[in-house]
Amino acid sequence: MWDEATTGANPLRSKIYRPELALKLKDLITLPKKGLGVVSEVHDDYVMVLFRDGIQRLVHNLPPEQDQ
C-alpha cells in the first residue's frame, strides 16, 4: 500500500509535519520519527497518514499558539 501511494512522490516536496498545518488528501508529509507519509483521510481536526510501517492519526489545522 505504502509503495503504491508513494510511487513518483518527491520527498523533497513533502511538508514537515506541524499540528498547525491544514493538510489535504494525498499531501506528502515528513514526520521525524516515522519518515515520509501520505495523507489518506482528512477530517476537520485530524488526518490519517499512511507511513511505511502503518497508518497513524495526526491532528491538523490547529490554530497557532499566540505569544502573550
Give the number of residues written for the chain. Answer: 68
Q: Does the structure show a pLDDT above 90 at 18?
A: yes
What residue ranges do the domains of the chain occupy?
1-8+26-63
DSSP string, 10-56: -GGGPEEP-TT----TT-EEEETTTEEEEEEEE-SSEEEEEETTEEE
pLDDT (mean) for 50-57: 95
Q: Given this model, what pLDDT does residue 67 score?
A: 54
Q: Which amino acid is located at 10 in the chain?
A: N
User: What is the number of other CB atoms lying within 10 angstroms of the CB of residue 49?
Assistant: 24
For residues 12 and 41, give the distance between their C-alpha atoms in angstroms, rounded to a whole number: 22
